[in-house]
Amino acid sequence: MIELNNMAFYAYHGVLPEERTVGGHYTVSLRLSADIREACRTDDLTDTIDYAAVCAIVKSEMEQPANLIEHVAARIGHSLLDAFPTLNSVEVRLCKLHPPVPGMEIAEACYTDTFVRPTSPPPFSLDPLMGIF
C-alpha cells in the first residue's frame, strides 16, 4: 500500500458563488493498492507507482472546478485507475478546509471513497448448464 497524505491545493469547488470566485483550501490523501513486489526487488521506478505522476493527475483534477467534492474525488479515483494499469484500487480522501457554513466554525468537511478496478467478465461459455444450447 502506498499512501500520499495531505497534498495541499487552493481550488474553486463549491455550490456557493463565492466558493467559485474566491476559492478555498483543500487537502487530498490517497491510499494506492498495487502489486509492487517487483519494485522492492529491483529498486526501479518503472516497477512501482510514480508519486510525481500521481500528484500531477490529482493537481489536474483539482484545477477543474466542480460543485461537489464527491465529484472531484470520483474524478481523481477514476483518472488514477485509468493512468496506472497496475493499480488495483485507490482510496481518495478529499477535504475542504473551513467550509462556509453560516453560524458554524468547521475545521474541514471531508469525503472518502474507494475506487476499485473493474474485473473482466467471465469468458463466453457454451456450457449447457449456462442456458445456452
Residue 123 CA, distance from chain mean position: 30
The residues annotated with a catalytic role in the active site are 96
Q: What type of residue sits at position 101?
A: V
Residue with cell 473493474: 118
- Nearest CA-CA partner of 50 in 69, 63, 32: 32
DSSP state of 85: T
Taking each continuous run of H as one helix and of E as one strand, the counts in the chain are 4, 4
Cell of 94: 478529499
